[in-house]
Amino acid sequence: NDAFAEVLKDYPYKELMVKEKTVKDLTNALEKIIISQKMRKEITQWELKEVKKYDWKKIAKKTEDFYYKILKI
């Protein structure tokens, strides 16, 4: 869906993205991650960077700013 697409737009290994209910593709993706230490490290680094975007304080502040902007119109 669109929310996942937005969150994962900068994901470093798009080839690991699998469609729903495709067990073979999921198995292959997991095998690649298990085998490749480099891949695991890069994914972990991306995840740690990405999660900072979704800090509750930042989200609350952005929401509050948005409401104030709308109310001042």
Query: How would you write the pLDDT of the chain (73 residues) with one tens digit per residue?
Result: 678 888 888 999 998 988 888 999 999 999 999 999 999 999 999 999 999 888 899 899 999 999 999 998 6
Please give, one letter per residue, the 3-state secondary structure of the chain: CHHHHHHCCCCCCHHHCCCCCCHHHHHHHHHHHHHCHHHHHHHHHHHHHHHHHHCHHHHHHHHHHHHHHHHCC
Prediction pTM value: 0.68
- Residue 48 has what pLDDT? 94
Token look-up 């104030």 returns 68
| pLDDT value, residue 1 | 64
Q: Which residue has the tokens 């990405």?
A: 50
Q: Are 16 and 33 in contact (CB under 8 A)?
A: yes
